[in-house]
Chain A
Amino acid sequence: MRPAHHPLSEKGVRDMLLSGADILVRTLIEQGCDTVFGYPGGQILNVYDSLYKYQSEIRHVLTAHEQGAAHAADGYARTTGKVGVVISTSGPGATNLVTGIATAYLDSIPLVAICGNVPTGQIGSDSFQEIDITGITLPITKHNYFVSSVEDLADTIREAFSLASSGRPGPVLIDVPKDVQIMQCEYTPAPPAQPQPPCAAKQVRIEEAARHINEAKRPYVYFGGGVITAGAQQETLALAETIDAPIGCSFMGLSGVPTEHPRFLGMQGMHGHYASSMAMHHADLIISLGVRFNDRVTGNRAKFATGAKIIHIDVDGSELGKTVTEVCSLRGDVKLTLQKLLELVQQNEKPEWAKQVEEFRAQEKASLDMREGMTPRNIICALNRHLLENTAVCTDVGQHQMWAAQNAVFRKPRRFVSSGGLGTMGFGLGAAIGAAFGTKERSVLITGDGSFGMCLNELATAVTNGVPVVILIMNNGVLGMVRQWQTLFFDKHYSNTTLNRKTDFAALAHAFGAEGCAVSTPQQLEQALSEAFCCNGPYVIDCAIDKDEFVLPMLPPGGSMDDIIVKVGD
């Protein structure tokens, strides 16, 4: 199964005595891993020595902080669909991974995190830099391992790769004590571990779903990150075409179908598009694919889509019926299940429903923010003109994230990289670096001055490695999203959201060895973008915006479609 040019085959190496550290690195290589992100330290030194030894076969990207490494591995995984790998030392190195692992867990991203630990004889004695990382990461990993014997190491890593990418993907952590890295044992190369083979939902359920779909008058296709994971873009579009249904997606579904596809209405939820929210609200059947009906999507669950039946297809059975009542639940791979479903659904046109959806679109268009100047929408639209098909658009968390989700144009799956479930401020720059490695192209980071303040140390990583990242800071001097809530729900008590910082981001970029400039007009922005998209390394654009821009529309937390805010009065 291994390609003939594989170095292990060439050297004819079989069953040789190797240290645990060498076995660890060789198993990573054997599993098809060519890039890892990490940060060295005392209890992982042996592994770093092996990384030095095998540097021609596996690239290690040194970050500024372990959290940045975890986010980079995450961004790499999101853009490639491969398992991302992050390596850290014990103690603080391991705990610094926690936010990165949790981010990947909530967004179902395949990640293998490898930590060193103190020698097995010292475990449990509160040694220097000893921490119970398997205990800490128990609720934020699919599974984790403490490797107590070097004989188990290679198979543990193989199992971790398989587990991380099987079914609903997620992070797996492997804790490797120092003595296990030093001890030697026989190493036998193995082919890359395969995820458990996907299977379609039960035929009887598929037939039931087809009956509901064939009876529906106003069907709506609603997909999420599961469609991207399963690679089910074509099937999703084919279903919508066949039954003449509009399409919407969850935040995690963005880039799953091309933004400009005529059937695509946009994102659902708290800051979703008006047209897609209205279409979902008025549908009589919601065909949901690889979604989990998060509270940010449903609002008040009791009032969510009361007029519609819900069909739910997901690879993770525990998501079915978890938060909403479903008329038909199908546990199975979305792509395979849709392929079988497509054989059973009848092709027909639904002109009345299509007309109604067009009206929603028209209403949305009429309420669009058409102001000129440096509005959030205009800024993202200016950026859109520079995006290539393969450009990964990464974000941090906050208002800029929602403006990006609403306005950025995606042409290809896996090109929107953002922390949806955990909402991790500081995710963006690490992820954008990982995305650039993953796509082998320039990536884009849309961030805010608040979020950027949490991860800007990774500018050093981008500069050192010559990673081209266009960093667009939507700088309003406030924590905009929290401020928006304070404006709407807390009587404008702007408690601790006015940053009042004097940071000169362009000068900061220069200090890191990056390019950077500040812009405050559309012309300056255009000029800066043109330069940034030619730059060989990171380029920071400090883009001034007003502190009272809102993310609209907004479905207030726990509200229903009747409560939607489309405009905020002065």
Chain B
Amino acid sequence: MNRYTVAVLVRNQFGVLNRVTSMFRRRQFNISALTVSETETSELSRITVIFSGEETNKQQLINQLYKLPDVVSIQEFNADNSISCELLLIKMKNDTATRGEILSAADAFGAVTVDYSKDSLMLRLADSSRRIDDFINLMRDYTILEICRTGSISLEKGSTTIRQIINL
């Protein structure tokens, strides 16, 4: 099993996310992270999907995705050729015993305190998925109240863009 990060540039229409994710379901891929947003033009949306599977199945999936009329182009990323980033919001229990350690850890990771109350504090961290994993693992020593992560987004290094990729 390999882990893949794929960006799918699609026409920005209702139901398009369903069409794309349905293809993953039909080929029995489990999506581990998914982000969707508008792009530099409102006519196009970008879906970034992280999933695990076999190489041949992944290629078959990409081939099938290209057959959807709403799909404009597809780009696959690896760590060498791309920059990836994920956003974390984490709500911690706030008490005098642990507050100092939590805030120094946050400081070390570059997480920002975005909400603070007597009983809780919320931290925000934008970083690679691995660094976010590490930070969450560190926080497990204290009391985590709630976690929300966005799933990774990726762009290729250099001046090439996904829109320059020609179908197959």
Contact = CB atoms under 8 A, between A and B. Distances in A.
B26 interface: yes
Contacts of A509: none
B19 A331 contact: no
Nearest to A166: B69
Interface stretch (A131-139, A302-310, A424-432): A131-139
B41 interface: no
Contacts of B168: 317, 331
Contacts of A322: 60
A318 interface: yes
Nearest to B68: A143
Contact of B15 (A146, A163, A317, A318): A146
A139 B66 contact: no
Contacts of A442: none
Contact of B63 (A134, A139, A163, A318): A318
A549 interface: no
Contact of B66 (A135, A163, A317, A321): A317
Nearest to B26: A139
Nearest to A138: B22
B67 A134 contact: no
Given A317-B63, A318-B63, A134 B26 contact: no
B161 interface: no
Q: How many of chain B's residues touch chain A, expressed as a range?
A: 10 to 19
Interface in A203-233: none
Interface in B15-46: 15, 18-19, 22, 26
A222 to B, nearest CB: 22
A331 B63 CA distance: 12
A142 interface: yes
Contacts of A142: 67, 69
B64 interface: yes
A318 B74 CA distance: 14
A138 B15 CA distance: 10
A316 interface: yes
A318 B18 contact: no
A313 to B, nearest CB: 15
Nearest to A318: B63
Contacts of B63: 317-318
Contacts of B56: 321
A255 B63 CA distance: 30
A256 B168 CA distance: 29
Contact of A135 (B18, B26, B69): B18
Contacts of B64: 318
A321 B63 CA distance: 11
Nearest to B65: A318
Given A138-B22, A139-B22, A139-B26, A316 B15 contact: no
A163 B69 contact: yes
Nearest to A159: B69
A142 B18 CA distance: 14
A343 to B, nearest CB: 25
A318 B69 contact: no
A317 B70 CA distance: 17
Nearest to B64: A318
Interface string A499-538: 0000000000000000000000000000000000000000
B158 to A, nearest CB: 27
Nearest to B167: A317
Contacts of B66: 317-318
Contacts of A316: 67
A163 B22 CA distance: 20
Contacts of A146: 15
A235 to B, nearest CB: 24
Nearest to A163: B69
B58 to A, nearest CB: 13
B54 to A, nearest CB: 13
Contacts of B67: 142, 316, 318
B117 to A, nearest CB: 39
Interface in A267-282: none
A138 B19 contact: yes
A492 B69 CA distance: 49
B18 A138 contact: yes
B60 A143 contact: no
Interface in B72-107: none
Contacts of A321: 56
Contacts of B22: 138-139
A301 B15 CA distance: 37
A143 B22 CA distance: 13
Interface in B152-168: 168
Nearest to A134: B15
B53 to A, nearest CB: 15
Interface in A304-349: 316-318, 321-322, 331
Contacts of A139: 22, 26
Given A317-B63, A318-B63, A322-B60, A143 B69 contact: yes
A310 to B, nearest CB: 16
A491 B12 CA distance: 56
Interface of A: 134-135, 138-139, 142-143, 146, 163, 316-318, 321-322, 331
Top 9 closest pairs, chain A to chain B, by CB:
A318-B63, A143-B69, A318-B64, A317-B168, A138-B22, A139-B26, A317-B63, A322-B60, A318-B67
Given A138-B19, A317-B168, 19 more contacts: A134-B15, A135-B18, A138-B18, A138-B22, A139-B22, A142-B67, A142-B69, A143-B68, A143-B69, A146-B15, A163-B69, A316-B67, A317-B66, A318-B60, A318-B63, A318-B67, A321-B56, A322-B60, A331-B168
6 contacts: A138-B19, A139-B22, A142-B69, A143-B69, A317-B66, A321-B56
